[in-house]
Structure 1
């Protein structure tokens, strides 16, 4: 597969710049509807911006709507040409489900610089698993490029489907990072937190996120943002240009984002010594200088090192203790370059051409901390030192500070184009499009430990070729380079080809309205190449190629039993939908999934709704085949030893016997407009999820749940662990990371398996209210919260379902976000409160539980409009400046009594709290 060339990238960026410089006759930059496009009018009389996945420009949101997520409910009947996420039916909001939408104004008001962070502001989205700052949960071990994906309700890292303008997006063989689309090129984001495989196919178990690109921009818009916190900074620069007219529309946007790394050394809550916070002491004895052990007794090597002449300074029964993760980043340095484009051309009064595309490259660099090891030192070592009067084998626990900080770097490069034709024949519309995209993931670890070279240097009697473990730094540069010369590269190349054909229209009319049908066929062709390079820099880079073909057919029927023409008391509206989809996979079989929905409006302003369906997720290539089978030597917190760190050997790899995951989902709720400008939506949801694919390579807290793995062979101890490791070594399985203990006592089978099942239920509550005052401007209150009433899961099919709700690294009981917006005389002020409820840390020894405090942060921002917003002049108007204070009161993450790990968390919970602290940002925006 070919990478996109630098020339192609240059042409794309240059096109954006030329559009901005050359279109001097454009109107003031604004998102305006096409004159032929119908407006969307909810029951409260306010306009709600909807972006049609049909390629037509969308109506602009009215000024009455304030920035912030809005809910599209059953009363929000879209225009005839609009398709809302969650349904294929034109001109009908999803029946039985609600849609949480982040519109253009909410995007601009957010403090997020990337699309994934924008979406994660929604309380229904949990930062578990596939995240740049937390990889210790399910799915995290495969996130080798430190990307981000959406995890609705925390149900699973791959159980949420992310699509672009209603169609699928090429992924990295695992998931889609929403930040492939620049925030400046987004019209809105629609989130359906409900099962939707009957509509969209695989992955839509917890819900669907639809990234809707801009098609209504008429002018040029630029943005520059700088933000800084203690030891952290980020920046965002972008430009978008668009033009609309009777002929159609075109838009192109480009954005560059830089986010610095955040080192754990710069946050005192990321610490091994947690006694100051009332926690445990997780300091390790792999230090510099280290701890020498002979005959089972420890001797702390003094500062400045030890030699045979100073061996008398060694004191029996002492040990050096230090931080175990010095130099480790909490999240990596990241650079984003992304661009996207859309077009619609009205070829005739009945035929349109449309399309969209994007290019994105995200580069990362992360320091993983210095390597710790326990090494055996033979008497032949040139620097050998023994405590006086001792005999027997000698080991030294040491942190290898003479070697470079462990570094990972790489990139994710992705691009895709989609285009098609849409024809209208009376009340019917026929549409076809072709999608083609590629994605390349590259992850490089250039300085792994060469265990044979280390052992040879430990045994060497020549000072020039020997390794010095005694704290005097006498190892030569050449020896250090030889010890630190192992590379691990794991590129993944993906190619996606999709063909879609749909028909959409009205079958016949009932007294309640038109009975509508949407039906279609989809063809997906996926190709993936899983690469591996491990060992010396001269080791060959090899690829394993796999492919999959998916043929799918679907149909969705909308039946309005009662409507405005035949409404009765108590039956103002009654709508039913039924959808079914059949998917046939070339490698994992076929599946059929239905979904049913109903809306009942007994009176104006109130709709009661419900849905039921089944969903599925096909296993990933990486889960079936794995990148490689290797052994990783990793530190595990062992509750059986009071939380002490032990070195365990974990096996990586895939499983060709994997089968699709399955789920049954249902929901019930209501949308109520109690007064003009107000909306309340309540939804109860239930998800029964079986056959969940999981792996345990990155789960460094797995020993806290050891009893639940009984009988599976996932955790082995003692002689069984040692025998299993020796068996794997005899098969040619190599050690990928770390130094294997001479007698390993812990083994973890980290390969993917269909073992898990879970049941999740809860309540979503979304409310908004906008009102005008005489002389004080306009106020808008928004609130969005999710409350889990149940999250019970089992690690094995036969295992007991255990309540894991509100426990560390699992979905939390309550998350909420509330905001107040005040618009007055050219100034827009916003106050946002984010809250995560407290929960239990159940990883303490002897079944102890720590009550982790709740986490509440406050964001404050104000935007000033300068000059005439409608001015076409380059300098006279259309200019705004914003000042934001994110985490205004510099709230630290709540203390978590948990040992730091290489995958985040430790002293704090990376899945529930932000380690950045207070960030001050300034944003300049210009429209012309």
Structure 2
């Protein structure tokens, strides 16, 4: 009764892999269960469980499954699995990626202290995409424990990556809101394989080496693999067209005045301090023009990375029908990057005349400055204190062991496994700037044994005493770890037969225990402080079931209904910390005529808040590193202070009252493989996701200026009545709020939240118009709403002509809508084709010619034009810069696989070029600014700064 299903399985074996750089377009691992070749009898059938269903012997019903498989991964010309997956149109963004530390909300960006990669299906965030290894969960990394690194499994050891871009909480539980990505290791084998790759771009190189060993015996086998990846840092100065914060030609700010030597403010504007100045500067020595430099000076666009991954997989038959199996992973990824120094943008220094190097001490008044007035200096501490260096690692290990066994009932099997793992992040940041609270002491020049700081020098060695620099320097180390223990059991088999085939059932349960901790160690003024540990955890128990009903099959097919299959699945989960959830899913496959299958599904999904979000102590505190230009504050807010840069204070951290995010998911589509056009496949899939209760912190995402100026964010903004006439608070209430934050006590009644639970507060902000102008609540809350829908397309054609096997194909995604409300009461906005939202259309096409031993391919990557809102670009920039051009790149590869014996047997050599014409990304005036983001002129959430990359890869199987 498997004939019709088997036919659809085999014809589906080619899919996304054809379009991702395969070295052999015909060696594709099937995306659905693979049956023994040329033999369909039950006793000779080898069934492989696939992503999207827990029932053995069937395809997933109702949901489309995309696969990157087999040789496409092992022979991939890309430097990492993450780079390979970026070519999948459904992966709209990698959230935080190697070029972004995250912390902003664009396309579900994440707090990403280690510049990690993590897939982000449909643009709803990395945490809404569940990543599995061999079908089971592994510990996630990152400050929020919501990041999975695709390179965790060495590419040489990957059999396939299966992608279900559809809600799957009914099958897998929390996090599978937008879909599942399952990284499946290769099975044990006899032999060995080694591979090496080196890639070159302008001023950049990366290399990768891997080895895999395997051994099988009559009752089992083992596979082990190791991979090392090394990538150089890319200096921002090596891409001056992209990492360029000079917006003067577009009506914005020019280069930074925070330089060394610096600049002194005079009545006529800033004037430059001459190079070589040390202790004898006078006001008459000042240069007519100020010194300037890029804020990207001495920084990196991409971090230096080296990673090591090790995996093993084994199976051993202990008795007929009873098998022990297991797998293990270890992954460590080290990063180093020079970031933009905070103090480059933190505002000017006010230097009193008591400073012994003050120019008034060396001469009289000049250039409009009357001695002995204090002077205002713009200065960059890079020369004195070094770069704002981030250096750290992420590390994951996990082990799984289980039993597969036959049950007494015919064709029923069981699977029980135990899994244990731990993930850790540790990142040290050397600020390359000052502990700013200590700076006034040494600027005044009367701070005991610590010599005064000289901001009139040029930052060269010897300008300032080392004791002074040691006093000013600061650093911090953030540590996060996540631990999971899990036991799972499931049973599957046929219940009974009906005319259409076997009705099948899968049932089971899981229990897992998660633990999370984070803490910070910081040093400033040679004093080391360890923060409070934010340890918390949860226990989760789940029960699930899935039913498959083949109403019409080979035995009762009829005109208009060749086959008709239904599935119903449900999963109940109970959480120890916030409640329970019940999520169903229904699917249907209808084949109205041979070669044409229509599928549809409906389900409910959810995402439990990660432990860091649900912990009021995690990452908790106040944050005051965002000076804003008060000249840009909306006049309707009634700001009463003088124009200039002033600092609001953020409240950040978790929230112990969070509930789950929830979603309703819909999909429908078809696949057509006409038998009279051999080699042709066409498919289309419609999806819709209604996502509510999305956990976010929009007042932080948009930046302090936008938070103040956006009416829908007013519930999260408390204005200082001494600075704003429109504040709804009295000065006493605002002062009480500051006191409550500093003391960790309950907030006043006017707060929209009940308590600030044990916040770890830094230096107290002072009330009044001369101090903090506003307090912004940036803690996590269930506030977001997203409704998105779109279409996925696949088309490919395999044919032979002139003794050449050709493949022509394309995959594409067309987003119909992405409606988002960032906060309660905020207007619904369609973010499609806007900066920070998904593109309406993205596609990748391929033409491959296979001549036997030689295969050559061309790939076209296309992303349509889109728009950027005026709040992100210089205010005076013409409207033409609101439009961002479409972008297309061409990739090329040629592979030689000799059909030979001896040393050449099993050899593959690939030469490839990404971005053949070295095309620069389109101009984007991303002038958002911020304490650690000085603005740049391309969209680094969509495009790579590397440009053309040439690579050579050699692989040898033994």
Q: Normalising by the residue count of structure 2, what TM-score does the alignment of the two structures yield?
A: 0.85
Judge conservation of contact 2:303–2:337 (CA < 8 Å) in 1. yes
Count of aligned pairs between the two proteins: 873
Residue 445 of structure 1, CA deviation: 1.1
Unaligned runs of 5+ in 2: 16-21, 635-642, 744-759
User: Do structure 1's residue 504 and structure 2's residue 531 form an aligned pair?
Assistant: no
Judge conservation of contact 1:189–1:209 (CA < 8 Å) in 2. yes
User: Do structure 1's residue 794 and structure 2's residue 821 form an aligned pair?
Assistant: yes
Match of 2:421 in 1: 437
Work out the CA distance in 2 between the residues paired with 1:39 and 1:885.
Answer: 42
Question: 1:479-628 residue pairs with structure 2 within 5 A?
Answer: 479-536=467-524, 538-540=528-530, 542-625=532-615, 626-628=618-620
1:137 to 104, 107, 111: 104
Q: Cα deviation per residue 1:756-776 (whole Å; 9 max; x = unaligned)?
A: 11111100111222112342x
Match of 2:658 in 1: 658
Match of 2:300 in 1: 329
Q: Secondary structure of 2:256's match?
A: coil
Work out the CA distance in 2 between the residues paired with 1:542 and 1:291.
Answer: 40
CA 1:75/1:600 → structure 2, altered by over 3 Å: closer, same or farther? farther
CA 1:684/1:638 → structure 2, altered by over 3 Å: closer, same or farther? farther
1:451 to 418, 432, 436: 436
Judge conservation of contact 2:865–2:886 (CA < 8 Å) in 1. yes
Match of 1:29 in 2: none
Question: 1:297-312 residue pairs with structure 2 within 5 A?
Answer: 298-305=270-277, 310-312=282-284
Question: 1:101-180 residue pairs with structure 2 within 5 A?
Answer: 101-134=67-100, 135-138=102-105, 140=109, 142-172=111-141, 173-180=145-152
Judge conservation of contact 1:67–1:109 (CA < 8 Å) in 2. no
Work out the CA distance in 2 between the residues paired with 1:217 and 1:39.
Answer: 31
Work out the CA distance in 1 between the residues paired with 2:76 and 2:711.
Answer: 42
Work out the CA distance in 1 between the residues paired with 2:628 and 2:797.
Answer: 49
Match of 1:754 in 2: 782
1:853 to 856, 881, 885: 885
Work out the CA distance in 1 between the residues paired with 2:644 and 2:296.
Answer: 15
Work out the CA distance in 2 between the residues paired with 1:315 and 1:259.
Answer: 43
1:66 to 23, 26, 37: 26
After TM superposition, the structure 1 stretch with the greater mean CA deviation from structure 2, 129-138 or 172-181, is 129-138
Residue 41 of structure 1, CA deviation: 5.2
Unaligned runs of 5+ in 1: 1-37, 51-61
Residue 306 of structure 1, CA deviation: 8.1
Match of 2:229 in 1: 257
Match of 2:18 in 1: none
Match of 1:670 in 2: 670
CA 1:99/1:118 → structure 2, altered by over 3 Å: closer, same or farther? same
Work out the CA distance in 2 between the residues paired with 1:430 and 1:267.
Answer: 56
CA 1:93/1:435 → structure 2, altered by over 3 Å: closer, same or farther? same
Match of 2:375 in 1: 394
Work out the CA distance in 2 between the residues paired with 1:471 and 1:697.
Answer: 39
Judge conservation of contact 2:648–2:704 (CA < 8 Å) in 1. no
Residue 831 of structure 1, CA deviation: 1.3
Work out the CA distance in 1 between the residues paired with 2:863 and 2:324.
Answer: 46
User: Do structure 1's residue 837 and structure 2's residue 857 form an aligned pair?
Assistant: no
Residue 644 of structure 1, CA deviation: 11
1:881 to 900, 905, 909: 909
Work out the CA distance in 1 between the residues paired with 2:926 and 2:128.
Answer: 28
CA 1:87/1:714 → structure 2, altered by over 3 Å: closer, same or farther? farther
Match of 2:626 in 1: 634
Match of 1:686 in 2: 688
Q: Cα deviation per residue 1:224-270 (whole Å; 9 max; x = unaligned)?
A: 11111111111100000123454233111100001111121110123
Match of 1:18 in 2: none
1:767 to 791, 795, 809: 795
Work out the CA distance in 2 between the residues paired with 1:649 and 1:877.
Answer: 65
Match of 1:194 in 2: 166
Work out the CA distance in 2 between the residues paired with 1:904 and 1:882.
Answer: 39
Q: Secondary structure of 1:622's match?
A: coil
Judge conservation of contact 1:44–1:677 (CA < 8 Å) in 2. no
Question: 1:302-451 residue pairs with structure 2 within 5 A?
Answer: 302-305=274-277, 310-314=282-286, 319-370=290-341, 371-372=343-344, 373=346, 374-386=348-360, 388=366, 390-391=369-370, 392-401=373-382, 402-425=384-407, 426-447=410-431, 449-451=434-436
Residue 670 of structure 1, CA deviation: 0.6
Q: Secondary structure of 1:543's match?
A: coil
Q: Secondary structure of 2:151's match?
A: helix
Work out the CA distance in 2 between the residues paired with 1:909 and 1:269.
Answer: 12
Match of 1:811 in 2: 838
CA 1:825/1:639 → structure 2, altered by over 3 Å: closer, same or farther? farther
Work out the CA distance in 2 between the residues paired with 1:63 and 1:319.
Answer: 56
Q: Secondary structure of 1:633's match?
A: coil
Residue 683 of structure 1, CA deviation: 0.7
Work out the CA distance in 2 between the residues paired with 1:242 and 1:572.
Answer: 43
Work out the CA distance in 2 between the residues paired with 1:445 and 1:593.
Answer: 42
CA 1:610/1:399 → structure 2, altered by over 3 Å: closer, same or farther? same
After TM superposition, the structure 1 stretch with the greater mean CA deviation from structure 2, 455-464 or 486-495, is 455-464
Judge conservation of contact 2:913–2:950 (CA < 8 Å) in 1. yes
CA 1:160/1:277 → structure 2, altered by over 3 Å: closer, same or farther? farther
Q: Cα deviation per residue 1:115-167 (whole Å; 9 max; x = unaligned)?
A: 22222221100225332212253264621122111100111231100011111
Question: 1:51-90 residue pairs with structure 2 within 5 A?
Answer: 65-66=25-26, 81-90=47-56
Judge conservation of contact 1:765–1:784 (CA < 8 Å) in 2. yes
Work out the CA distance in 2 between the residues paired with 1:827 and 1:716.
Answer: 68
Q: Cα deviation per residue 1:322-375 (whole Å; 9 max; x = unaligned)?
A: 322322222211111001111122223311111111111111111103332422
Work out the CA distance in 2 between the residues paired with 1:664 and 1:639.
Answer: 44
Residue 319 of structure 1, CA deviation: 4.6
Q: Secondary structure of 1:538's match?
A: strand
Work out the CA distance in 2 between the residues paired with 1:193 and 1:156.
Answer: 13
CA 1:659/1:689 → structure 2, altered by over 3 Å: closer, same or farther? same
- The root-mean-square deviation of aligned C-alpha atoms, in Å, is 3.5
Q: Secondary structure of 1:126's match?
A: strand
Judge conservation of contact 1:525–1:550 (CA < 8 Å) in 2. yes
CA 1:602/1:65 → structure 2, altered by over 3 Å: closer, same or farther? farther
Match of 1:183 in 2: 155
Match of 2:947 in 1: 917
CA 1:644/1:856 → structure 2, altered by over 3 Å: closer, same or farther? farther
Residue 657 of structure 1, CA deviation: 1.4
Judge conservation of contact 2:245–2:934 (CA < 8 Å) in 1. no
Work out the CA distance in 2 between the residues paired with 1:468 and 1:594.
Answer: 67
Judge conservation of contact 1:581–1:594 (CA < 8 Å) in 2. yes
